[in-house]
Chain A
Amino acid sequence: MSTTMVAALNAALRDSLREDASVHVLGEDVGTLGGVFRVTDGLAAEFGAQRCLDTPLAEAGILGTAVGMAMYGLRPVVEMQFDAFAYPAFEQVVSHVAKMRNRTAGRMGLPITIRVPYGGGVGGVEHHSDSSEAYYAHTPGLHVVTPATVADSYGLLRSAIASDDPVVFLEPKRLYWSAADFSPADVSTAVVAPIGRAMVRRPGTSATLLTYGPSLPVCLEAAQAARSEGWDLAVVDLRSLVPFDDETVCAAVRATGRAVVVHEAAGFAGVGAEIAARVTERCFHHLAAPVLRVTGYDIPYPPPMLEKHHLPSVDRILDAVARLQWEQ
């Protein structure tokens, strides 16, 4: 059955609400409207306005309220309407959500899922297109997860809600309407999408593309196009930025000896810099070339008519692959 990412996320929320009475969804427009992207469509009707709560328009208040709810034993699932709209809640995320378990020597964990639609490529305005993963990944105490496939959207969101730790769940809005043959009823979440495990989406022998979220389809397309150049590219979907799956990533890089990291966010001090450093530290003697990065430029998010130049493209990825010192 053909399912969109939005429908898979909706199914994950519905199944979590159904199975666990402590799960509560809250955010702006998540109730009657079903969310601006319709991810919470029908949940208020099925579970009531209190289980899927339309809140005042105030992100710090939403997250701060969720912290208190989690202190009392609930599992809040918070929707931040857009990447850049999540910033008012940043203090709550950094100073409390990420730190409460550590502050209380393990006595008070906060099982909060923070859903954030993120990334560009949808013709959105400046503040609807940010890739904010590095802010969260740089904050110890948070798990940071981003699905790239319809099945993972369901499986990872179920895992995030079930996690006893806070999870920042980044939803690539560019892929919201992507569809795949998927039925939630077939899924065992523990097998399909555990937090902390990367997945090799395409085996290859020439070089390894390391990517996540909205850039996965671009990388798969690049790998397909690379065949005509004689390159057999492996593609790894990180899925979980924190915890980071060093094992899978390093095995995939050692197998080819060459790696390119691809993400939309600005490159400077980005997640790709961390990945390139980790791979270099762990796989140096297996590498035939420096680890390269293909990322968004170090600029504020561009206006929609220019974003195609900013986002990693098949051509930019293939250009990077070409620079992996093949003529040694």
Chain B
Amino acid sequence: MTVLDDSTAPGLVGPPNSHGPRRDPAPLLPDPEPVRILGTPAAKTFDAELQRDLYRRLVLGRRFNQQATTLTRQGRLAVYPASTGQEACQITAAMVLREPDWLFPSYRDTLAVVARGVRPLDALTLMRGHAHSGYDPYEHRIAPLSTPLATQAPHAVGLAHAARLRAAADPETAEDLVALALVGDGGTSEGDFHEALNFAGVLGAPVVFLVQNNGYAISVPLASQSAAPTLAHKAVGYGIAGRLVDGNDALAMHSVLSAAVEHARSGRGPVLVEAITYRLDAHTNADDATRYRSAAEVAAWRARDPLTLLEGHLRAAGLLDDAGVAAAAQAAEDLATEIRAQFDNPPDPDPDSLFAHVYAEPTSQLREQAAELAARLDADADAATAAEDEAR
């Protein structure tokens, strides 16, 4: 029994505004074991069409991770931090959000960004290197991918808080939105993670923090990262609800995350969800994971691949047959073909873009520097033309 199962607010222990004990921590505590639905009776009552939808999306997600990794090998993508093995987290993070909601991804969450509707090329712009971010944050309600860890978490708090301020000031334009911040296990050690959870608790902002605990911060295992009973327990210190879920169980992920998001939406406060998952690939294509984890460990987690678990369950439940698997695979191939096509044209970033958006209006110094670069490029182009003419 946690606070999420209970519509009543946790009771105050002490008098209002006392600085003695103020709150009973018990309702905020995560369950002792991660929430699982696959293989439990609850799976039987889980909406069948939603299960099939989850399967199709996970297959697409896996193919996206594979194709992006392939693009790095071909030199068409500079770097890709894959979320292979974490697709249940990525896909459900996008699925549980409604139109007015906001997503605050980290650099490993490209798949969640694509799953919320961004064109793959635009989601991968940062990794391709022709611009820092390829999509309009306001069109998709997704903040740019954040590279500095956990620094986007307080942004989610501020945006959610601002939405509530506006709703109070102007009910006409009120948006019952939720901000979902994606953080990794390493990110929970950052000061910004702590400050974001503390602000969220104090402000009562409609925020959900999803920690994808994939066991490693690049090479450093969780045991060297935190001595907390679970990362979800950290919520209790901020007076917010903690939830622990099997991040490779797509049904449990969808169930726990949507409950958390609707909990926050209804004004009952923020939620911290820890999803226990595993990064099947290396940190990025530039990393060598064999230096810090054993083949046996990886093999054990491959056996708990979220896609395999879900497919096995769906087949056993009679919700998926060979034709369904083939159709999902074909859709995934179509996606891969589309991604490759998007990457066919080599990028041609405009050097003038270096100066155009530093400020709303470029300073006189930036105008001078832009002119200097433009003159240099013109001279280079003239020299190239002259050399060509001479060669002829």
Question: Is the beta-carbon distance between A108 and B159 smaller than 8 angstroms?
Answer: no
Structural contact, A72 and B159, CB atoms closer than 8 A? yes
Report, as a range, how many residues of chain B touch the other chain.
35 or more
Report how far A70 CA is from B144 CA in the complex, Å: 14
Which residues A31-84 have CB closer than 8 A to chain B? 50, 55-56, 58, 60-61, 63-74, 76
Looking at the assembled complex, report how far the CB atom of A209 sits from the nearest CB atom of chain B, in whole angstroms.
Answer: 23
Does A96 have its Cβ within 8 Å of any Cβ on chain B?
yes
- The total of chain A residues at the interface (CB under 8 A) is 49
Of the candidates A21, A88, A102, A246, the one having the most CB atoms from chain B within 10 angstroms of its own CB is: A102
* Neighbour of A67 across the interface among B148, B154, B358, CB < 8 A: B154
| Cβ B137 vs Cβ A107 within 8 A | yes
- Whether A164 contacts B365 by the Cβ 8 Å rule is no
Whether the pair B155, A67 counts as a contact (CB closer than 8 A) is: yes
Closest to A51 in B: B165
Q: Given B132, B136, B161, B195, which contacts A68 in the complex, CB threshold below 8 Å?
A: B161
Measured CB to CB, the nearest residue on chain A to B356 is: A106
Partner of A71, one of B131, B158, B166, B199: B158
Q: In angstroms, how far is the closest chain A Cβ from the Cβ of B138? A: 7
Q: Shortest Cβ distance from A168 into chain B, in angstroms?
A: 13
Contact between B161 and A96 (Cβ–Cβ < 8 Å)?
no
Question: What is the distance, in angstroms, from B308's C-beta to the closest C-beta of chain A?
Answer: 37
Contacts A102-B132, A141-B359; A56 near B199 (Cβ below 8 A): yes
Query: In the bound complex, do residue B199 and residue A107 qualify as a contact, i.e. CB atoms below 8 Å apart?
Result: no
Say whether A101 contacts B151, CB under 8 Å: no
Bound-state CA distance A309–B155 (Å) is: 43
Q: How far is the CB of A304 from chain B (nearest CB, A)?
A: 30
Known: A64-B151, A65-B203, A69-B161. 17 other contacts (CB 8 A): A21-B169, A55-B199, A58-B195, A60-B154, A61-B157, A61-B192, A67-B154, A68-B160, A70-B158, A91-B192, A100-B144, A102-B358, A140-B358, A141-B358, A164-B360, A165-B360, A244-B363
The chain B residues found within 8 Å of chain A, CB to CB, are 131-133, 136-138, 143-144, 148, 151, 153-163, 165-166, 168-169, 179, 191-192, 195-196, 198-199, 202-203, 353, 356-360, 363-365
- Mind listing 18 A-B residue pairs with CB under 8 Å? A55-B199, A55-B202, A56-B202, A58-B195, A58-B199, A61-B195, A61-B199, A64-B158, A65-B158, A68-B158, A73-B166, A91-B148, A100-B144, A105-B356, A106-B356, A106-B357, A109-B360, A244-B363
